Amino acid sequence: MREGAPTLSPVAAPQPGAGRLGTARRRVWALVSGTLPGARAHGVGAAGGVFALALAGALASCGGGSSNPFDNPGAVQNPAGATGQHLAFAYFQKCINPIFLAQLQITQGGTVSTNTCAGSGCHDTTTGTGGAFRVVQNAQPIDLANTANTPDVIRTSDIYKNFYSAQGEVVLGSTAQSRLLAKPLLLGVLHGGGLIFPNENDANAKLIKYWISHPAPLGQDEFSTASYTMFTPNDPVTGTCNTQ
């Protein structure tokens, strides 16, 4: 023994424990005490028992023999949607999609200009640089009265791609948190395209707000004819778009 080195008292090996943690304790002890094959070849001797016990104690304090010593949940669960409802496709097609194609006044850095949301430098599906929201500019409307246009058929169309992308910017039950409305209004969020709607009384802002606030009835999909009450009269072809 090197002169002046501390004298370590013999330490008893840990008793067998339950489960994988008990096995781990015994292997740690065997390694540091030199009883695991190859341990002595690496210069690890019985003095390491102090470390072994300290480590074993730390493991025990984290949950004993449990395979989940930190008591973490088995899986991370995302919260369910606010309502579990769907936004209305018919209203989107007639009242919302045209907003993305219209020439709108933009105020950015004190400069006023005009552009479309679907412009090549903004939200165009192929050349746009405006984040995740994408618009297919030449998407054709779907005849909802044609029985051949089943939900499966509609969901493969370009107009549905626009619908799907737009609803990805929506938080059902919260117009304030829905970026489809908050960004063009600059409501606490940056928008590379600048200020599009001067305030919430803007005609287009009111359409978007109404769409977000009036999902299809619970248990019905985005094609529910119950959403036709969003038009006056209740017809997505001849009716006008309600905003209140």
Same structural domain, 150 and 232: yes
Same structural domain, 43 and 129: no
| Of the candidates 106, 93, 174, the residue with the CA atom closest to the CA atom of residue 135 | 93
Same structural domain, 112 and 172: yes
Contact by Cβ (8 Å): 30, 39:
yes
How many Å apart are CA 209 and CA 14, to the nearest integer?
Answer: 66
Same structural domain, 168 and 214: yes
Q: Please state whether the peptide bond connecting residue 37 to the residue before it is cis, i.e. omega within 30 degrees of 0.
A: no
Contact by Cβ (8 Å): 21, 64:
yes
112 lies in some domain? yes
Quick one: pLDDT at residue 41? 47
28 lies in some domain? yes
190 lies in some domain? yes
Same structural domain, 213 and 136: yes
Quick one: pLDDT at residue 79? 43
Contact by Cβ (8 Å): 149, 142:
yes
Same structural domain, 111 and 222: yes
Domain holding 215, by residue range, is 89-241
Same structural domain, 44 and 150: no
Tally of domains in the chain: 2
Q: Please, what is the end-to-end C-alpha distance for the chain in angstroms?
A: 89
82 lies in some domain? no
Output the six-digit token pair for 52. 């072994």
73 lies in some domain? no
Same structural domain, 108 and 161: yes
Q: What is the largest CA-CA distance in the chain?
A: 100
Same structural domain, 132 and 224: yes
Same structural domain, 96 and 208: yes
Digitized pLDDT (tens) for each residue of the chain, 244 residues in all: 555 555 544 545 555 554 554 555 555 445 545 555 554 545 545 445 544 445 445 444 444 455 555 555 565 444 444 458 999 999 999 999 999 999 999 999 899 999 999 988 899 988 888 888 999 999 999 999 999 999 999 999 999 999 999 999 999 989 999 999 999 999 998 898 999 999 999 999 999 999 999 999 999 999 999 999 999 999 999 999 999 9
Contact by Cβ (8 Å): 154, 92:
no
Quick one: pLDDT at residue 129? 85
Same structural domain, 112 and 201: yes
4 lies in some domain? no
Same structural domain, 93 and 45: no
Quick one: pLDDT at residue 121? 80
Quick one: pLDDT at residue 81? 45
84 lies in some domain? no
179 lies in some domain? yes
